[in-house]
Amino acid sequence: MFAFLRRALPLAAAAALVLSAPVPATAADPSPQLAAAAPATVTIDNFAFSPPLLTVAPGTTVTWDNKDEEPHTVTSADGGITFKSPALDTDDKFTFTFDKPGTYKYFCSIHPHMVGTIEVK
Site residues (vs Cu ion, CB under 5 A): 72, 108, 110-111, 114
Q: Smallest distance from the beta carbon of 72 to Cu ion, in angstroms?
A: 3
Taking the least distance from each CB to Cu ion, the nearer of 8 and 87 is 87
Taking the least distance from each CB to Cu ion, the nearer of 9 and 53 is 53
User: Which DSSP letter does residue 17 get?
Assistant: H
Taking the least distance from each CB to Cu ion, the nearer of 54 and 108 is 108
Beta strands in 1-121 (DSSP E): 40-45, 48-50, 53-56, 60-66, 75-76, 93-98, 102-107, 115-120
Would you list the DSSP string of 28-57?
--S-HHHHHTS-EEEEEETTEEESSEEEE-
Q: Smallest distance from the beta carbon of 90 to Cu ion, in angstroms?
A: 12
Q: Smallest distance from the beta carbon of 111 to Cu ion, in angstroms?
A: 4
